[in-house]
Structure 1
Amino acid sequence: MVVEDTVDDTLTASRQTAGQLLDAAVRYAEERHWDVLPGAWLTDGTGPAAAYAGRRTPYCSCGAPRCPAPGAHPLTADWIGQASGSAAAVRRMWLAQPDASILLPTGRTFDAIDVPEVAGCLALARMERMELPLGPVIGTPDRRLIFFVLPGAGAKVPDLLRRLGWSPSSLDLVVRGEGDWIPAPPTRLAGGQTVQWARKPTAVNRWLPDTGELLSPLAYACGRTR
């Protein structure tokens, strides 16, 4: 009876999570017009035997024993052509694979600047004081903040950093552009924690800032906290 109750609870939680992923993925495509891609997901390895033994060791659905990005990478090598901004297409993809993580391809409607959480929080506070335009910001379980900016950041950032007096290789500041992706809430990553919004997408931040508007406070914060 204990085993059956545990399994039922696990299945209920799984269905709730799958519903949240579907709703979020459709909303990103429908409301923000973002291309969305289903990715690998974390599997708890639960079932009657696992529940009975009390084992819950998450692993990536890709099956790789040393997956470098558990629960947060595309399912196939040709993923670029599979991403879609159609709400109907996104719904079909998640109905086919309800547990899939939500990945947002960069280099299309936006790029992203990925920095350590401490530096990102410091920069975010400074940007708000300066009343700089801000887009959505994602917080990840591995303690990173990801700032949305207009496409083209990859080509601009190295030269802009040098003008600011920084060597690009000296800062833990990563640009996610064409051919890359970022995980979106409520995707669950290694450790079982979920990706969350530090600044949610709203009607106010629909128009994204240019990289040059945010790079100075981001670079300063990364340099100060390295």
Structure 2
Amino acid sequence: MSAEFGGRTGRQGKLSQWLRGRRPKETAGDDGRQAQLLASAAAGLPLAPAAHPGAGYGCSCDRVGCPTPARHPVSFAWQTQSTTDRAQIERWARHQPQANFITATGMVHDVLDVPLEAGREAMDRLLAAGIEVGPVAESDDGRLLFFTATRGTPEDEDEWWPCELDCHPETMDEHPGLRWHCRGSYVLVPPARLPGDDGRAVRWVRGPEHPLPDPLSLLEVLTDACARHVGEESGHVGSAWPMRH
């Protein structure tokens, strides 16, 4: 990974170094974890506690055969529970030291979630073109997460919003290409641990100190990269997301 891919020059100091792609194991334990969570909250990302890895590839929740181990909120009220309040996040981090955290999308920010290789290609193109990219997280399950401003609820939504892109947690398997997390969805926020014994994690590539860009400024490059990625995997050029009829 190049220095350019790690992000442009921003705030200095240890926190910025953590946020620019350093793996969670390089932070100072619980203090480093909490510092990253508080930095995300300070940037306006609403957080709520999530499950964490159990034994092997299991989940800390008590659901038999959990379909999204260590990737889901611990409370059904996660949308109303999500907050940027520093004191509340400190309490959660202190009382749930193993918990991952999710950030609820569609409130302040959305997330464009793409296959890793397609995302890296798009990142290089966007940065080379001088386009503001914003925060980006990398997940060791093969995804790159582009954090953007939320699209909100525009009056002309039906004129430009393609529902095929809209992704919710229960529909993620239907979206092997580009997933757009907005209202009613969430993603893991770094630092987060994924199931397995190989230290898989979710980490920042570009930290939350970067301003949130307009999602439409990234969409064309991301969908183009995803279309090529899907085409290469299937042996033909296809859609970047499954089309519904």
TM over 0.5: yes
Deviation at 1:22, TM superposition (A): 2.6
**Aligned-partner Cα distance in 2 for 1:75–1:34:** 18
Q: Deviations over 1:141-180 (max 9, x none)?
A: 111011111101795552898xxxxxxx997111001111
TM-score where L is the length of structure 1 = 0.75
Q: State the 4+ residue runs in structure 1 displaced beyond 6 angstroms.
A: none
Q: Give the match for residue 136 of structure 2.
A: 137
Which structure dedicates a bigger proportion of its chain to helix? 1
Corresponding residue number in structure 2 for 1:185: 190
Look up the SS of the partner of 1:122 in the other structure.
helix
CA distance in 1, matches of 2:124, 2:182: 25
Query: Separation in 2 of the partners of 1:170 and 1:184?
Result: 20
Equivalence for 1:210: 214
Deviation at 1:21, TM superposition (A): 3.0
In the other structure, the counterpart of 2:33 is 21
Query: Are residue 128 (structure 1) and residue 132 (structure 2) matched?
Result: no
- Residue pair 1:136, 1:200 contacting (<8 A) in 2 also: yes
Paired residue secondary structure (1:214): helix
The amino acid that maps onto 1:33 is G
- The alpha-carbon distance between structure 1 residues 25 and 109, as it changes in their structure 2 partners (threshold 3 A), is same
Contact in 1 for aligned 2:135/2:146 (Cα 8 Å): yes
Cα gap change, 1:95 to 1:101, in 2 (>3 Å): same
What percent of counterpart residues are identical?
31
- The answer for unaligned runs of 5 or more in structure 2 is 1-24, 166-173, 231-245
Greater mean deviation of Cα atoms: 86-95 or 148-157:
148-157
Q: 2:208 aligns with which of 175, 192, 201?
A: 201
Larger Rg belongs to: 1
CA gap of 1:153–1:212, structure 2 versus 1, over 3 A, is farther
Count residues with an aligned counterpart: 189
Partner in structure 1 of residue 109 of structure 2: 110
Q: Give the Cα–Cα distance (whole angstroms) in 1 for the partners of residues 61 and 163 of structure 2.
A: 38
Superposed CA RMSD in Å reads: 2.5
Distance 1:159 1:42, change over 3 A: closer
C-alpha distance 153-139 of structure 1, shift in aligned 2 (>3 A): farther
SS at match of 1:215: helix
